[in-house]
Amino acid sequence: MIYILFILGFIFLIRGAEWLIEGASSIARKFGIPDLITGMTVVAFGTSLPELIVNLFANGESSDLAIGNIVGSNIANVFLVLGVAAIIRPLTVRRKMIFREIIFNVVAASAVGLLISDKLLGLGSSEAGLDRIDGTILIVGFVAFLYYTFSKIHKGGKDLSIGADEDLGKFDIPNTIMEILGGIAGLYFGGKWIVDGAIEVATLIGASDAFIGLTVVAIGTSLPELAASVIAVRNKNVDIAVGNAVGSNLFNLLWVLGLSAFISPLRFEGSVNLNVYIMIASAVILFGTMFVGKVKHQIGKNEGIAFLVLYLSYIVYTIISY
């Protein structure tokens, strides 16, 4: 039964996130909150909820699973999600996004690596991981990023025109409340079943919790980002496709990982460290891709294929390593 619940957990987790996003977005539209702000907060946070819920459940059970989930998910968001999206349609990225969200993603990933490295260099405890001080630093970084982002949006007020919402008259309070409650329930049970099942599967096949977190759980919790980005590029909304993946990575690193470490210090096996550096490399590669290729500031089809090859290589490496 636990294996059935493990599979159902991903369905509940993804649907729960979708329901919560839909409900929260309806409320945001009802009260005239601009779509840009809604997208940067509700949608980005919503697609990161699977990682957050899994980590909160995994904290008391397995730190390896918690850190592996975030690291693996961030690598998947760059190489898998953006790779698939770029193959469907070239992703032309706005210059301000390159030097704001994308470069901040590099800084955030590097910060996590440095916070872990201080333990390895003898500047902290001898055990690799993130303690409550590290978690606080990441959360402060998350607040700083939100403040910086909203200040930039405020200065560009012309982008925040609200306009009349043709769907306001159709706002259904009972349905919206049910969506939000159903989303919360789906996230709760989905997250619990995934963590319980992941630990059981790892024990059954003799794999480590870190391996399961870096692969199966990471891919599963990245499905909302993959679905959202594919739908976005099909609708020719490249900004959402790229912003969704990069924004989710920032939420994962600064908010999810920060909150997880603050609630309960994360200690994990040394082999996870190399995966952290691969995650940093993926952020740097994404930034560098903006300045190479036939068209600058674009992730084209060739780059998308290269991203998928890199991700496949990473999965093969992880299987061999663990």
- The pLDDT score that the predictor gives to residue 160 is 43
pLDDT at 248 over 70: yes
Q: In what helix (H) or strand (E) does residue 129 lie, and over which residues does it extend?
A: strand 129-130
Q: Which residue has the higher pLDDT, 8 or 168?
A: 8
Distance CA(72)–CA(81), nearest Å, equals: 12
Tell me if 248 is assigned to some domain. yes
Tell me if 228 is assigned to some domain. yes
What average pLDDT does range 175-197 have in this prediction? 81
CA pseudo-torsion sign 169, 173, 174, 180: positive
The pLDDT mean for the chain works out to: 80
Tell me if 65 is assigned to some domain. yes
pLDDT at 156 over 70: no
pLDDT at 292 over 50: yes
What average pLDDT does range 230-240 have in this prediction? 77
pLDDT digits (tens, 9 = 90+) for 76-86: 999 999 999 99
Tell me if 49 is assigned to some domain. yes
Tell me if 67 is assigned to some domain. yes
**Which CATH number fits the domain that encloses residue 290?**
1.20.1420.30
Inter-residue contact 122 to 259 (CB < 8 Å): no
Distance CA(112)–CA(135), nearest Å, equals: 10
Total domains present in the chain: 1
pLDDT at 279 over 90: yes
Distance CA(55)–CA(264), nearest Å, equals: 10
Q: Which domain holds residue 128?
A: 2-159+171-321
- The pLDDT score that the predictor gives to residue 61 is 63
Please compute Rg for the chain using Cα positions. Answer: 19
pTM of the model: 0.80
Inter-residue contact 322 to 271 (CB < 8 Å): yes
- The pLDDT score that the predictor gives to residue 59 is 67
Tell me if 251 is assigned to some domain. yes
Tell me if 166 is assigned to some domain. no
Tell me if 276 is assigned to some domain. yes
